Amino acid sequence: MLNYFFIKNGILDTRMIFSPHYTMAKLYFKNGEEWLKKNYKDTDYYYMRTKFQNYNDINIDKFINLYESIKNGYLVGKYKDHYPVILEQPFAKTRYNREVPVSGYEVFSGHHRIGILLALEINNGPVLIAEDLHHGSCYSEGKIHNLCIKYNL
């Protein structure tokens, strides 16, 4: 499904630099707010959000505000403990026993933040590494991340 964004030269490559989050941040960085607001509906990010995630009321201003916030300082103020969460094994593999052609870590929470950081050419920073609490259960709490994973600190 979302592999649409990650097939490069016929090969699946799920690095964040191929994600709609990253490309959206790069477009904003390169072309500015006015251009992005005018061309938003032509982006892969818009396509992903409306086709795969069923979001019909997407507020582009929230993305721009997040970008500007991160550009002006990451993990500061009230967001100092808002680390992206990374899984050592893909959630689909641990939770649903699916063979997933993903090598390396999977972003569980923080796709926007990581995409924006990479677009700003900030290639490293603190993250939380987590693991699935309920291997093979075929059940998910949706966006309630803390019920699905535990942090390995």
* Residue 40 vs residue 90, higher pLDDT: 40
User: What is the pLDDT of the chain when averaged over all its residues?
Assistant: 78
For residue 96, pLDDT beyond 60: yes
Question: Which DSSP state fits 51?
Answer: I
| Cα distance between residue 28 and residue 25, in whole Å | 5
Structure tokens at 113: 């933040």
For residue 152, pLDDT beyond 60: no
Instruction: Collapse the DSSP code of 126 into the 3-class scheme (helix H, G, I; strand E, B; otherwise coil) and give the result.
Output: coil
| Cα distance between residue 102 and residue 93, in whole Å | 10
C-alpha radius of gyration, the chain, whole number: 16
* Residue 134 vs residue 43, higher pLDDT: 43
Instruction: Collapse the DSSP code of 138 into the 3-class scheme (helix H, G, I; strand E, B; otherwise coil) and give the result.
Output: coil
* Residue 117 vs residue 140, higher pLDDT: 117
| Cα distance between residue 98 and residue 23, in whole Å | 28
25-34, 98-107, 118-127, range with the lowest pLDDT: 98-107
Segments making up each domain of the chain, as ranges: 12-151
Helix intervals (H) in the chain: 20-39, 44-47, 60-71, 91-96, 111-119
pLDDT tens-digit map of 41-52:
899 888 888 876
* Residue 83 vs residue 99, higher pLDDT: 83
For residue 107, pLDDT beyond 50: yes
| Cα distance between residue 12 and residue 99, in whole Å | 14
State residue 131's pLDDT score. 82
pLDDT tens-digit map of 23-68:
999 999 999 999 999 998 899 888 888 876 666 666 788 889 888 8
Pairing of the two strands 85-87 and 128-132: parallel
Averaged pLDDT for residues 4-18:
62
